[in-house]
Structure 1
Amino acid sequence: MVPVVTIRPIRLAELADVLERPFEGEGDFEIKGVAALASAGPSDLSFVRSERWSDAVSASAAGAVIAPEGVDVGGRAVIRSPHPGLDFARAVRRIQPMPRLPAGIDPGAHVADDAQLDPTAAIGPGCVVGSGARVGARSVLYANVTLYAGVVVGVDCRVHAGCVLREGTVLGDRVAMQPGVMLGGDGFGYLGNEKDEWESVPQTGGVIVEDDVEIGANATVDRGTLGDTLIRRGVKIDDLCLIAHNCDVGENVLIAGQVGIAGSVEIGRDAILLSQVGVADHVRIGARAYVGPQSGVPADLETGARVLGTPALDLPLGRRVVVSMRRIPELLRRMRRLERRLDPDASDAVEPE
């Protein structure tokens, strides 16, 4: 089974109608592809965000562009948009939809007799679909995906190669998972016993992933100890993130790469956690909070909080702390010089490297 790559040409006027934007130029111009300005050809559509990129537009061979009002596009066909990047993304989905496997079960897949697969679903080579698992309409499991017994995959989901969904995992509709995602692994739960050894705590919960969630490559979401780990509607999780057992990630939360979230953390809707943030267990992060890159969050954050640093501080103070750290070596040298002036006989003053 080979993924089907589809290009769907469209006239400029038709695309402008789909995007609900005005256009200038020849409405019958046929767009046959999408590309960046530097690599676009005469039949391709590209985009420009602002006048700052006017030189790139002039040098481009793109036949049509999406651009804001007032940006000179050199007389070529243009769709005017206040959000050119967003409208270009929508155009890409229309012109070059995501490759998918044809419906059906690859001969190299193993599907339990009592699994329930919609006839329009696609199951790729090497997949294992366990007893009682369900896969909804038009969903695609790419090569070597494993669904444990009873796993539920909703409608229009894309589960890329090598993903593993353990028992107790439920996906809503339109969920996208990049290669290597692990859902439902045991949480990091251990208790010391009478022999001063670590004894594992059974992890009996599951993972619930609601509609329109996207999860990046090699991210992991652990199953709940008791009850479920919740990833709510519209959440976007980048590559290499860890979400531990019993977390509740609110709607529309954005989590960038390499974030680690310890157990039982609650994150309010529309919060943003940038790359390499670490969150301690049982912390509550309020709705619309912003946590800057490499921040450590040891305690609760209020609704709308904006923080940076380790430990996380209010954003203006956190920025000053980060900038001030660069001055520490020079400040130490100045302090040592002052100490020697005050006490010329001091023998323990050490000049930093």
Structure 2
Amino acid sequence: MPRFRATALGDLAARLGRPLEGDAAWVVRGVASLEDAGPGDLVFVRGPRYAGALARSGAGAAIAPPSVDTGGRPAIRSPRPDLDFARAVAQLALRDRPPAGVHPAAVVAPDAHVDPSACIDAYAVIGARCSVGARSIVHPHVVLYPDVKIGADCEIHAGCVLREETELGDRVVLHSGAAIGADGFGYTFDEQGRPAKIPQIGRVVIEDDAEIGALAAIDRATLGTTRIRRNAKIDDLCVVAHNCDVGENVILVGQSGLAGSTVVEAGAILMGQTGTTGHLRIGAGAFLGGRTAVHKDVPAGARLFGAPAMPERAWHRTMSALARLPDALRRLRAVERAVGIRAPRAGEEEA
């Protein structure tokens, strides 16, 4: 099937609410990067820095800010070309949606409720008392344990597992292999010092418009609820432990991990491989750079980097000093030898 819906550029500009320069009848037949675009493709340009790449591109039209010369190409003018390009792609891209209904090879419990407009694909398993909302898609080999609730317009990709009592709002997307509602890692020690499991009897709630990446794990609460709030975005291979609360519009980038009972307030961003100890709070709008190790509460709006986490400016100074450390040590050894407080050692590098 075609990948894109052929659309007049003028119609697309009107849907985006942006002004058009040039031929409104020019037909968008695809979208592409500047490097790969052909004469029927629409591209986007962030700013003047990319004007040269646009001049070399074979693209037929562009979404660009007013400051960029598009070389005579028709252009949708936008103050946010990246955002408008994303919205354009959402309108132009065609997807092969499976038909509504329950596939004959799926297994659905007799007391489960599946909306007639939803799709339950082959080899999916829908457990007792589950519900699947309008227009939601459950792809092959998805398993819903008993009492799972899925809202409207959700998409659960192949291989996901949703444990008992997990609840999804509307328009939630789970990518392949996500594990939602597994037991939290909760143990104490018995009289002989052996690990003794603490029963994990809570649940997971994922609110509207959240998106969970492939192979991410979100554990059920020990008691109560592990909650992923509205429009949060969690990347592949992230771990959210029991009783965490991930706020609205939060971004967790790949391989980040939240220890138990961590609260991440609205709009915070945790870059790749960031980790937290448990029972702490990351304030609204905070930014944690890649591989940051957080061991105490983070104020709202803070920018932290490093392990242990430190303010951005201090981290830059530390990294700069670290790069100069070998030379500083050589000079220190030379001074020590010069004043007679340190004899050269065998094989030691001279200053």
Q: Shorter-normalised TM-score: what interval?
A: over 0.9
In 2: Cα distance, 1:224 partner to 1:5 partner:
44
Aligned to 1:330: 327
- Asked if residue 299 in structure 1 is aligned to residue 299 in structure 2, the reply is no
TM (normalized to structure 1)? 0.95
Report if the CA contact (8 A) 2:336-2:342 is conserved: no
Deviations 1:121-141 (A, max 9, x none): 111222111111111111111
Report if the CA contact (8 A) 2:13-2:19 is conserved: yes
Aligned-residue Cα RMSD (Å) equals 1.8
In 1: Cα distance, 2:120 partner to 2:141 partner:
9
- Identity rate of aligned residues, in percent? 49
Q: 2:108 aligns with which of 103, 108, 111?
A: 111
Q: How does 1:36-185 map to 2 (within 5 A)?
A: 36-185=33-182
Q: 1:309 aligns with which of 306, 317, 339?
A: 306
Given the superposition, is the C-alpha separation of residues 246 and 93 from structure 1 closer, same or farther in structure 2, using an over 3 Å criterion? same
What are the ranges of 5 or more consecutive residues in structure 1 without an aligned counterpart? none
TM (normalized to structure 2)? 0.95
Deviations 1:153-212 (A, max 9, x none): 111111111111100210001111111111001111111101111011100000000001
Report if the CA contact (8 A) 2:333-2:342 is conserved: no
2:269 aligned partner, one-letter code: I
2:170 aligned partner, one-letter code: D
Runs of 4+ in 1 over 6 A off after TM superposition: 347-350
Report if the CA contact (8 A) 1:336-1:349 is conserved: no
1:201 aligned partner, one-letter code: I
- SS class of match (2:230): coil
1:94 aligned partner, one-letter code: Q
Report if the CA contact (8 A) 1:205-1:228 is conserved: yes
Aligned to 2:187: 190
In 1: Cα distance, 2:27 partner to 2:2 partner:
19
2:185 aligned partner, one-letter code: F
Given the superposition, is the C-alpha separation of residues 345 and 185 from structure 1 closer, same or farther in structure 2, using an over 3 Å criterion? closer
1:263 aligned partner, one-letter code: G
Of 212-221 and 324-333, more deviation after overlay is shown by 324-333
Aligned to 2:238: 241
Q: How does 1:258-277 map to 2 (within 5 A)?
A: 258-277=255-274
- Asked if residue 230 in structure 1 is aligned to residue 233 in structure 2, the reply is no
Given the superposition, is the C-alpha separation of residues 282 and 345 from structure 1 closer, same or farther in structure 2, using an over 3 Å criterion? closer
2:206 aligned partner, one-letter code: V
In 1: Cα distance, 2:58 partner to 2:3 partner:
23
2:6 aligned partner, one-letter code: P
Q: 2:25 aligns with which of 24, 28, 34?
A: 28
- SS class of match (2:285): coil
Given the superposition, is the C-alpha separation of residues 120 and 5 from structure 1 closer, same or farther in structure 2, using an over 3 Å criterion? farther
Given the superposition, is the C-alpha separation of residues 104 and 330 from structure 1 closer, same or farther in structure 2, using an over 3 Å criterion? same
What are the ranges of 5 or more consecutive residues in structure 2 without an aligned counterpart? none
Residue 27 of structure 1 deviates from its aligned partner by 0.9
2:102 aligned partner, one-letter code: I
